[in-house]
Chains A and B, each alone.
Chain A
Amino acid sequence: MHKHLHEIRDPIHVFVRLDSDERKVLDSHPFQRLRHIHQLALTSLIYPAATHKRFEHSLGVMELAGRVFDVVTHPDNLTDAIRRSFPEIAQQQQLEYWRRAVRMASLCHDMGHLPFSHAAEKELLPEGWDHEKLTRQIVHSSEMCAIWRTITPPLRPEDVEKLAVGPRKARDLQFSPWEAILSEIIVGDAFGVDRMDYLLRDSHHLGVAYGRFDHFRLIDTLRILPSSNEEGAPPALGVEEGGLKSAEALLLGRYYMYSQVYFHPVRRIYDIHLMDFLKAWLPGGKFPTSVEEHLMRTDNEVNAAILQATLDDTQKGHDPARRITRHEHFKLLYQRSPEDVRINPEAGLAVHEACKRKFGLENVRRDHYSQPREATRFPVLLRDDKVASSEDVSDVLRSLPLVSIDFIPINPSLLKDAKGWLMKERTDIITPSQVETA
């Protein structure tokens, strides 16, 4: 008998189940390519088991997105106001269409990733491009459109595109409140299943406990809620009061994963060496943006090139390749502290400039990142049916710190001298910024 439901074993969700239409996406070239894109770039150089790929993550995101969709659209979980706002929920055919769109968008959401995922995407793509833009392009490609057309009813690629990247990365498109909520299920800052899956999956493969939380409880208590008690308040993804502690655990887990793992200084330094290698190795220092060329590039070709360049000092990118394969990475000389930033918000830049002058441009790098948004504010449905803001009912969420780094790594052969020099010069380097002149 022809099989309509397929099961795939998964270490996080036990089974991921998909139907034959979803299987067509799974078998497509853009999706199969994700088998060769590491989820965490070169992190396995520090955490050896972190060799998992975007492939299984995307399957996990689809599994969780389907679960969240079913919970938040279940008749028992809807208030009258939400039912009125979203007539789609009452119409079975429409509901089925959107459930499919959400799961398909989840499968597709990472298709635009460059080799080694996020590493230095801004530097390695032409101006105005990012992996979300590549994803949007792939969703509209002839191979994917052929799949969307075979589904009954056919899926509109623009719906898949919107839900896969969300309004922040598709500013040229108008989102209805319904589409905004559905994209929040996938890429939302607070309860997006993309984050849920990567926190759980990364923790599992890294061998750390920071990113674990009770996702079963959290998902069961997710609700579409008005964002406040005010008349006309727009809907948002929120949580029942009983799930608030699980939501806190998710956001704390995220904070610890960022501060302990994703921003581990050596992990970040390897990203810089990888970027240096790719800039030297790629024609024109950039990845191509056509769908065909994008799909031809995976971690495998890059890894082979790194190994080759390591062995041959005449090859482009030999130095960063050697630093990666021989573990001769730059070492951390300076990282920002609250005291320094209070003196000068650009303390890291000041140290970087001084280091470049003293030790030469080629021996010093700067790695700075500031958490762009926080996810601590969402509606909570209280037991008396009133809606409160999460920060009004959770002391934990009110005091969750922001993650911000400013690292200055230096050539390891200079580290000892540089440390002595910086200790002596630090107070002269980190001074308040100049008073501006006309």
Chain B
Amino acid sequence: MNRLQKAAVLTQLAEALRSRGSWCGETHLQKAVYFLQCFLGVPLGVEYLLYKHGPYSFDLTEMLTSLRADYLLEKQFKAGGYGPSLSPTQASAELRQRHPHTLAKYGKQIEFIAQSLGSKGVTDLEKLATAFYVTRELGKEAPLGLRAERLNQLKPHISIDMASQAIEELDHLMIQASDYVMATEKA
């Protein structure tokens, strides 16, 4: 994908997350893109590493900042310490209209991620994304207990119980993802 195609995908994802009730701050987008790229294979070309809040991409931060500089995303604030929300602009809607094929190709993946993650807050997203990071590291066949231990080792504030729940939720999400993609392909 070229820069404008990636911009169309990212602003569409922000739109879809917001329509599912997400506050859509940078952390929400970081985790959503992690799943979109590494889980569903949408090639946004950003590199992830394990950082303070779980999987994080410096490349994506740069991409989102450049979308703001190009007036395709804008920050919105609300009281209560939620941090800024990233909202797609009218210019981004026009850009998306000019990329129908890209959005048709990745639309179902974007919808699935928005549907699955849109209602989650940053704490839950951090747990789930780190569960996915650990699963990629150890392999999805690795026992749940082992993956939960590893998650707890990487993020000690996430207890083993909480880590096990996150891994279970991730495994469920992986099954749902393949069912969803198969169903929409048939349709």
Contact = CB atoms under 8 A, between A and B. Distances in A.
Contacts of B7: 345
B108 interface: no
A4 interface: no
Interface stretch (B14-22, B70-78, B164-172): B70-78
Interface residues of A, number: 41
Interface stretch (B29-37, B43-51, B141-149, B174-182): B43-51
Given A345-B70, A373-B62, A388 B47 contact: no
Given A180-B52, A342-B71, A377-B83, A232 B65 contact: no
Contacts of A434: 98
B94 to A, nearest CB: 7
B52 A438 contact: no
Contact of B81 (A168, A338, A392, A433): A392
A167 B49 contact: yes
A371 B65 contact: yes
Contacts of A234: 52-53
A404 interface: yes
Interface stretch (A62-70, A94-102, A152-160, A223-231): A223-231
Contact of A370 (B58, B69, B77, B123): B69
Given A234-B53, A402-B65, A391 B84 contact: yes
Contact of A167 (B4, B51, B102): B51
A435 B100 contact: yes
Contact of A436 (B3, B65, B69, B98): B98
Contacts of B62: 372-373
Contact of B66 (A175, A342, A370): A370
Interface string A371-392: 1111001000000000011011
Contact of B65 (A174, A346, A372, A433): A372
Contacts, number: 93
Interface residues of B, number: 39
Contact of B95 (A398, A402, A433): A433
Nearest to A392: B81
A437 B101 contact: yes
Contacts of B77: 391-392, 398
A434 B68 CA distance: 21
A434 B98 CA distance: 7
A350 to B, nearest CB: 12
A438 B101 contact: yes
Nearest to A399: B75
Interface in B98-136: 98-102, 123
A2 interface: no
B101 A341 contact: no
Interface string A93-136: 00000000000000000000000000000000000000000000
Interface string A402-438: 1010000000000000000000000000001111111
Interface string A310-354: 000000000000000000000000000010011001100000000
B161 to A, nearest CB: 14
Contact of B68 (A177, A402, A435): A402
Contacts of A230: 123
A345 B91 CA distance: 9
Contacts of B99: 435-436
13 contacts: A171-B47, A180-B52, A231-B157, A345-B71, A371-B65, A372-B65, A373-B58, A377-B83, A402-B69, A404-B66, A433-B95, A434-B98, A436-B98
A-B pairs with lowest CB-CB distance, top 5: A232-B157, A234-B52, A404-B69, A345-B70, A372-B62
